[in-house]
A and B are shown apart, each in its own frame.
Chain A
Amino acid sequence: MRELCDHAVAAALGAGASYADARVVVRRSQVVGTRNQRVERLDDAETEGIGVRVLVNGAWGFACDRRLTSDGAGAAAGKACAFAKATPSGHARELAPLEPVEGVFRTPVERDPFEVSLADKIELCLRAEAALAHEDVKVTSASVRAQGEHKVFVSSEGAATEHELVECGGGIDALAARDGVAQIRSYPSAHGGSSSQAGWEYVESLGLEREAPRVGEQAAALLQAAPCPSQVTTVVIDAEQTALQVHESVGHPTELDRVYGTEAAYAGTSFLKPEDLGSLPYGSEHMNVTADSTTPGGLGTFGFDDEGVPAGREPIVAEGVLSGFLTSRETAATIGSGSGGSMRADTWSRMPLVRMTNLHLEPGEGSLDELIGGVDSGVFLQTNKSWSIDDKRLNFQFGTQIAWEIEDGRLGRMLRDATYTGQTPVFWGSLDGVAGSEEWVLHGLTNCGKGQPGQHAHVSHGASPARFRDVQVGFKQ
């Protein structure tokens, strides 16, 4: 693989590139999914290829080839250069300086997920599903996933890195329906569960079968629950939904490529401006957000990003003030700050983009019970159900699967169809408490979309439950 990358880079330089990098990726991914006690998905996918990115006269070019041969590497390099030459740039393109490094990163794994038989994975899903059963639950589903990736990167500046990454994950869902009402509950997260960069031990730690009875019962109980009333009130948000709030309203707007407009046509831009760095009040003093590509178990953890920049930990929001952006070498050079470190590509056939790695809301103090105890009247919101935010990442609306009234510091009746909405800096400005590290949970999601052609990123967010005052809550005003 190293030789193919070297060959591609040399071919690109020979074809006129001033800079070139090449990535070989060999990936295997497995998904086992069951639904109503039937095997719904039993997929075992492998993909491999080489992607070559070049700069020619200030213009980027990217091409790929599935063939892991010198012919494939050379063809990708030649086509990348030809495409770059066909789209000339009117200016020079600067990259933040980088000391070329060579290094290897491997996910620490206790149990190789591909050594676990498919039969065992199916059995786990079926057992967890069976434990979801309730007379009002119409659809039960369970899934587990595993992914292994071997990646080699070489740049014309001398960087040469190698990764062997392993991911695992799983989740369960119960959908209850009666009299025209349908409600869903999920564990440990909605939308396919949660994943971690780890071995099969992560799936075992989730306790899908153990948690299933509660999930099924709550789905059924939601059929009897009252709709969440519309009101401006205090909300306490569980760690999972807080993680998604961080993802959508902090992660994406601090991607510096969005700030510079290169995602405008699809994912959108950002309400942030480059000059906001170091001064913009993003939230209250309780708000501390960190980008950390070294977090153990994080889906965004690596040794080096897809430009060869070493992993690191950087503050993004410190005590409520914007303190950093997620950058590539190019955007870091443009803003004159940082050195990149957030460039990631979905796979061998995609060009790297500025992506979140692991973005965490740092823990505060105390417990979830103490956060709730500090609320005279409010709502506790748990587990994401719907999510939407505008193209500048200002106006958002999230829905959760379940909610409870809070009265005099205690949880009251269950509520369904809860949503909350706000404007990003106003909302984060109303943050008045984050639970402590004992409540801090790392959530891994695999469906972050961006780019054209589209790319999925796998990212993690650590968060504790958090409390926000004066939030618009309600369903379909």
Chain B
Amino acid sequence: MSEALELAGRLLRVTEGDGALALVLSERSGLARFARSEVHQPTLIENDVLELQIVRDGRLGVASSNRTDGEGMRALAARAAEAANSAPADPDFPGLAPPADPPEVEGFDEQTAALSADDQARLAAAAIDASELDLYGFFTSGVTELALASTTGVSVSQTMTDASVLALAAVDGASGYAEQTSWRLGGIDPAGASTQAVEKAKHTRGAATLEPGSYPAVLEPAAFAELLAYFAYDAFGALGLLEERSYAHGRLGEKVFDERFSLADDSLDPRGLPKAFDFEGTPKQRAELVENGVFTGVVWDRTTARRAGNGRQSTGHAPPSSLRHWGPLPFGLSVAGGEADSPQELAELIGDGIYITRLHYLSIVDAREGVITGMTRDGTFRVRSGKIAEPLVNLRFTVSVPELLAELPGLTREQVLLNQSAYYDERYPQGMLSPAVATARFDVTGVGSGPGV
């Protein structure tokens, strides 16, 4: 039995109530953050968070602590019990999850788990040393374990590893970006990411401005994944559907996107950051969300499934308690690849337009219609005659994601794993598999600063 699962079991034993779920999330991580080719914020974290959900007469209370001693556990149980005693009964409470065998998934790598602070510093240095321009970014690796034990018999744990390198090669007037993420150290190449960022940066000098308007565009995987994530957390979750406020309302079963666009949430895929179960202990399932342009589904947890009725079942997408107000979340999105061999081939498909490497500071303008604004950065170019041409300044865009997805001239065959975690709060690896995408419509609504620092 793992240490985290043993902790969860101990917590369960000091708990009184009709039912209880004990959850332990453990993190051992290091992040070597660098700027101007020098590590300036190196952070080592070790923490174990214990969360207890207590059920009393249909009332649910939740409390958490990072004290693992007996006194700390008893105090935690008392606070969770007080919360349960204070809550009114919830007629929609589905009860705690029954025991179920989680699927066998990958996602743990001994070599990655064994990385020390010295190793993390060395891998950051490998990125820095490979750059002929000032380099900004980080190397990080971590081991995360999630364990759940409940009075209904759930007893599951999963240990995950993850490693990421983010490389921004930048000087005054020029910048380029690259990132790599994997659960295996062998899946990433810090020096390679650095070199890729430098090559991109070299082509961004002398950036020109662009008239606002609607342009065909190629979005590299990092740009497309970030845009899609902002849309997906609302549009592909069951809560927004049930509350009739998300893009999904009234559109399930309709062909609303280009037939080249297919989307699933698939935490079982070993190319992503695999997960075996969700935060309720329900086994993860692959959920089909869009099939050949048809909006086919959303992800569910036990609460939303109960509320929907009609025999609806959880798909294994319950979020952590702190995100429960979002409802079930698609943390393992996977966009099906297309037929293009490269983003350059996508540029040939659009002929004339723009090429986007990365986005910045997105915000949802209209959730119901999927309208999102943001900026491009670190590698925005004009596309002319099917070729990536002169660099552009950072562009303000305000796009309807469904309109952007309505006509996709092509997608690359290769799906790239993009890190979806900014490491706020407790570490829990999240990533999206995405190809590069060509769209017929990308609405530029303004211009901002130029590339570079």
Contacts and interface: CB of A to CB of B under 8 A. Distances in A.
A40 B375 CA distance: 34
A112 interface: no
Interface string B422-438: 11110100000000000
A391 B373 contact: no
B57 interface: no
A353 B39 CA distance: 15
A261 B35 contact: yes
A42 B80 CA distance: 9
Contacts of A39: 60, 87-88, 90
Interface stretch (B16-24, B64-72, B106-114, B277-285): B64-72
B367 interface: yes
B244 interface: yes
Contacts of A38: 90, 92
Given A388-B373, A395-B375, A397-B373, A62 B447 contact: no
Contacts of A410: none
B118 A86 contact: yes
A454 B124 contact: no
Interface centre among A139, A262, A390, A451 (most CB of B within 10 A): A390
A297 B244 CA distance: 38
B6 interface: no
B46 A122 contact: no
A224 interface: no
B243 A139 contact: yes
A277 interface: no
Contacts of B427: 453
Given A180-B368, A264-B136, A391-B377, A452 B41 contact: yes
Contacts of B46: 64-66
Nearest to A259: B453
Interface in B400-453: 400, 422-425, 427, 443, 445-449, 453
A193 interface: no
Interface stretch (A43-51, A147-155, A199-207, A280-288): A43-51
B373 A90 contact: no
Interface centre among A33, A63, A417 (most CB of B within 10 A): A63
B423 A454 contact: yes
B449 A351 contact: no
Interface stretch (B219-227, B321-329, B334-342, B343-351): B321-329
A455 interface: yes
Chain A interface extent, by class: 35 or more
Contacts of A118: 82-83, 86-87
A395 B66 contact: no
Chain B interface extent, by class: 35 or more
Interface centre among B87, B140, B170 (most CB of A within 10 A): B87
A268 B424 CA distance: 17
A6 B148 CA distance: 37
A241 to B, nearest CB: 14
Contacts of B121: 83, 86-87
B255 interface: no
B117 A82 contact: yes
Contact of B136 (A64, A119, A265): A265
26 contacts: A33-B325, A44-B79, A44-B80, A60-B41, A61-B42, A63-B44, A65-B46, A66-B48, A66-B67, A86-B118, A89-B39, A138-B245, A139-B245, A265-B33, A386-B363, A390-B377, A390-B394, A391-B361, A392-B449, A397-B396, A421-B396, A421-B445, A452-B31, A453-B31, A454-B422, A456-B424
Interface of A: 33, 35-36, 38-49, 59-66, 79-80, 82-84, 86-87, 89-90, 117-119, 122, 138-139, 141, 175, 177, 180-182, 261-266, 268-269, 271, 349-351, 353, 385-392, 394-395, 397, 399, 417, 419, 421, 449, 451-456, 475-477
A-B interface, 6 closest residue pairs, ranked by CB to CB distance from nearest: A395-B448, A453-B423, A454-B424, A86-B121, A118-B86, A87-B39
Given A44-B62, A46-B65, A90-B38, 19 more contacts: A42-B60, A47-B64, A48-B66, A65-B46, A82-B117, A83-B32, A122-B88, A175-B245, A177-B249, A261-B170, A262-B36, A386-B364, A390-B361, A390-B377, A390-B396, A391-B375, A392-B449, A449-B422, A452-B31
